[in-house]
Structure 1
């Protein structure tokens, strides 16, 4: 039903008024295209992560270092992203959603463009850190923007937020579809990663432009800093089709509370109400990142050790597995989310991935097609299950005033799992080959146990109704 059919006039005089309006009304043009534009930073994150995972051994060879050290340098992007995620709430409070998006993507674009021409490993290190800060800032903004576009009262919110996992695999599939034409065009294997990373910086510029025009500013942020007349009312009318007027009272003091909100937000994540939510979201996010950065990120490396056909076969196989299993898994996982819920869907996904990894350790040397099928099953159930749900749980578990803080913290903790997978998997694979799958199976099993023990389901709770109470706690 169109929002314009409701002529009701709302009165706003405090941030909670705007939050209530937004949460009951999806944006007029919140279609799949706009949602993917909001999630655009995640597309860039996935693209650059997969591209660097592919180029790890070439980076090591070009700069005369071990693959393990090259992976450690590349993991610096995750350390920087961890810090960037913790700072994201400050950035959005200080600059607003629109400018915060520009800051994040500008850092990512600059870092990617410079790393593609790196003359030495130290240059790579600095550029990866710059990229990491940008990506860390961007992710909480992206999922928060999607939640605001859909409105938390809508059943479509969880589905829309979780689409970031499908978007991730669309982006990683693009990586291999970019690399294959470059390889066929005669670019040497050793230089492919440079060309691929530079092309990724061009994608980031496109995302920046699209976001600026299609996503815009946050109505909640405008209200929180006291911009009711000139901004909040205008955004509500343009984006949600809602007419609002400002109550006659002073709101100038609102913006003075931002520093207190920043300092108190992390403390509230671990109070008696939010502790279990925080632990569940962080563990699901971390365990899925660990398993993905081992199997998914190094998929060409793994396939090259199992299949014949050289680099072309490994890239083509990676594209097929990502397209058929990763994209479809992310889409199906989003569509069935309302039926199973975030916790159960994560639990089932972790269970299947654990079993598939054990089977892969036992059977990977018997038949390459069986191995390919098991890898595809891992990617599918990771994508349909916990792959996106750690961030979905974090996004939907907190009210707007601390949502960027909660998502930023979960994303920061998640990076530790990504770092572990990125650094240790090449070492483990080099030492144990297919027996490494047995050890990796421990990771999703720990995620499974956490989902069994912590019974929190954000889809059944209106967390945005808690915003006023949390704001009052922050003001104390």
Structure 2
């Protein structure tokens, strides 16, 4: 798979698997932007302000549990079965949310939607990395993970229209928002059904014929597309095939065999979780409460920030394959942390208004987004194939749990206390990013342009 030239097949993988991050960005942004509308009596749901916060926490809990549960199942039963199942769950839950008649039904739907999205992270990242050639794995992964912010920008603009009661009744606009997410998910589902199972997973799990057929089909399509024969495959590896990998063995691999890589993954995910919550949980309130920006204008500031988050991975992604993972990840983490410290100093001294503060955030996240997107790439690459999906799920759950639970509690209090306390929140996020960047300097893995088996030998390798 690593020797294959870039082709229409690889674009199919990106379209069928990678576009789901747009859905996640859309989901998170829509619910945040719709929060005030859902508390209005005319919305027909009867939520309180506390209920909106509870719904967000329930979504996070669903994402964490879904990632862990579906991550384990992805390693056990295959990438394709699970990336079909998780998207199917998302579709059903999102459609049901649009018809929610009461708070309890809404909460259940939010939990199931989160579970589907959380499961997607494990199933999709593992499948993409096992199907994309090694020489382009970095740029592809970063661009795909960065596409989350396209969904964020779309969600911010979409909700402005759907919340306009001159266009849609108060009890209809928010329901249409969830319905549109389901329509996009359905289109992705149709394409995704044509993406094959990972041959790497198949051969390790005793499905040699399936693996051979998949690779032959892909090679045949590429040879027909290019009009020439492909060079023969080189190298070999002997393995002991297995039906499954036990949960205990997965934990043992993370803790005993790769403890330094475990520390690396935790550092990268904890750092990015607090950085993003330091700004994104507070940005609208900072603008409206501290800088007197009107409530109907503040949501638009998310669009340039989201664009900066998307452009970072897109424009810097190729450097992660050329310059190297360690240099680029550490530079992006440390650089964004230093930039946020500078932003905090200027903000604390009253030197920034709404426009210049937003420009600072765009600059910070241009670099931070490239680094944090590479965090998902890192934990997918540096552990054995049999544990790949579970490793992604574990680190995603840790980062999402910290960001979605501790972050809102901590930074909510900072906002109540004023500008100086908000700046302290910025410093905490920046400090953790810089620390994670330093961990990358000492413990990072030079995985660029290497096969996954070379980075982390499969557990099934024969002695």
TM-score (norm 1): 0.81
**Correspondence 1:157 to 2:137:** yes
Within a 5 Å distance, the mapping from 1:219-258 to structure 2 comes to 219-229=199-209, 231-241=210-220, 254-255=241-242, 257-258=243-244
- Per the alignment, do residues 378 and 303 of structure 1 end up closer, same or farther by CA in structure 2, a change over 3 Å counting? farther
Distance in 2 between the 1:469 and 1:60 partners? 51
Q: 1:35 maps to what in 2?
A: 14
Match of 1:331 among 310, 314, 318: 314
Aligned residues: 437
- Per the alignment, do residues 363 and 374 of structure 1 end up closer, same or farther by CA in structure 2, a change over 3 Å counting? farther
Q: Kindly provide the CA deviation profile for residues 36-68 of structure 1, in whole angstroms up to 9, marking residues without a partner as x.
A: 43223222112101111222343455535334x
- Per the alignment, do residues 30 and 176 of structure 1 end up closer, same or farther by CA in structure 2, a change over 3 Å counting? same
SS across alignment from 2:256: coil
Matched-pair contact (CA < 8 Å) for 2:325–2:447: yes
- Per the alignment, do residues 424 and 84 of structure 1 end up closer, same or farther by CA in structure 2, a change over 3 Å counting? same
- Per the alignment, do residues 292 and 357 of structure 1 end up closer, same or farther by CA in structure 2, a change over 3 Å counting? same
Matched-pair contact (CA < 8 Å) for 2:139–2:318: yes
- Per the alignment, do residues 64 and 145 of structure 1 end up closer, same or farther by CA in structure 2, a change over 3 Å counting? closer
Match of 1:418 among 400, 403, 419: 403
- Per the alignment, do residues 388 and 360 of structure 1 end up closer, same or farther by CA in structure 2, a change over 3 Å counting? farther
Distance in 2 between the 1:365 and 1:161 partners? 37
Distance in 2 between the 1:317 and 1:422 partners? 21
Match of 1:209 among 172, 178, 190: 190
Distance in 2 between the 1:193 and 1:298 partners? 23
Match of 2:32 among 34, 45, 53: 53
Match of 1:444 among 430, 434, 451: 430
Q: 1:384 maps to what in 2?
A: 370
Matched-pair contact (CA < 8 Å) for 1:50–1:297: no
Distance in 2 between the 1:332 and 1:66 partners? 39
Matched-pair contact (CA < 8 Å) for 2:336–2:365: no
Q: 2:168 maps to what in 1?
A: 187
How many angstroms does 1:346 deviate by? 3.9
Q: 2:453 maps to what in 1?
A: 464
Q: 2:223 maps to what in 1?
A: none
Distance in 2 between the 1:92 and 1:340 partners? 29
- Per the alignment, do residues 79 and 353 of structure 1 end up closer, same or farther by CA in structure 2, a change over 3 Å counting? farther
Within a 5 Å distance, the mapping from 1:196-345 to structure 2 comes to 196-213=177-194, 215-229=195-209, 231-241=210-220, 254-255=241-242, 257-258=243-244, 260-272=245-257, 274-296=258-280, 299-305=283-289, 310-323=294-307, 325-337=308-320, 338-339=322-323, 341-342=325-326, 343-345=329-331
Match of 1:394 among 366, 379, 397: 379
How many angstroms does 1:168 deviate by? 1.0
Distance in 2 between the 1:219 and 1:137 partners? 20
TM-score (norm 2): 0.83
How many angstroms does 1:235 deviate by? 0.6
Alignment root-mean-square deviation, CA: 3.2
How many angstroms does 1:234 deviate by? 1.3
Q: 2:83 maps to what in 1?
A: 101
Q: 2:55 maps to what in 1?
A: 73
Q: 1:146 maps to what in 2?
A: 128
Distance in 1 between the 2:313 and 2:340 partners? 18
